Structure 1
């Protein structure tokens, strides 16, 4: 299993569609494996091919901050569960998720600069 976190400067980016990159962790048993980085494509997340790229990499969970319903739908259609309302340092968040301490918070992004959400 792999999980991804939209990242900017080591913390969860508050806006999924405009993050600097995705931090991807492989889950090894009940611990985090080595983190890898996937640069974010240009433009809005829900209009890019990021969902299929992440799915092809084996990502099944997205730990996100604010995220629009369009992006949630596209990620879900690609077999990626979205956990919304996440904050803080990426490693601490991923560790908390593994410990069962992260729950979905139905907070959706409602400001858009990238058209047709």
Structure 2
């Protein structure tokens, strides 16, 4: 049985530090220990629920990222999508760890963020 995995990336090389800032969603379809498909997904709509909508349309089983908001995290989990958080590193190394069963998720306390307002901080 195959699994559809998305790595939230920046420039296609590394796991992005925050799902909301990634500019590439890389899909890997895994069958056993073999990658049978790899492609970049279209960018989700920049609206509430855009990421969730894309993951549901693509029938994603697992999302791999570092940090994300509690709203997105909970929405994905509620729909049966496994979310692996606290992940850093090169995409291919992360994927290989996942396939080998060596990729572990960080704690929600450290990597899932709740925003009191919907305003994003400015630099």
The answer for the alignment partner of 1:103 in structure 2 is 104
How many residues end up aligned between the 2 structures? Answer: 114
The answer for the alignment partner of 2:24 in structure 1 is 21
Q: Pick from 8, 11, 15: which aligns with 2:10?
A: 8
Q: Structure 1 residue 35: deviation in Å?
A: 1.4
How far apart in 2 are the matches of 1:82 and 1:115? 22
TM-score when normalising by structure 1: 0.83
Structure 2, unpaired ranges of 5+ = none
How far apart in 1 are the matches of 2:46 and 2:112? 16
TM-score when normalising by structure 2: 0.80
Question: Per-residue displacement from partner, 1:31-60 (whole Å, max 9, x unpaired)?
Answer: 22231101333547xx23221321221211
Q: Which has more radius of gyration?
A: 2
- Residue correspondence of structure 1 range 1-117 to structure 2 within 5 A: 1-9=3-11, 10-41=13-44, 43=46, 47-106=48-107, 107-110=110-113, 115=118
Return closer, same or farther for 1:49/1:42 CA change in 2, 3 Å cut-off. Answer: closer
Moved over 3 A (4+): 109-112
Q: CA RMSD in A?
A: 2.3
Task: Tell me the SS of whatever aligns to 2:63.
Answer: strand
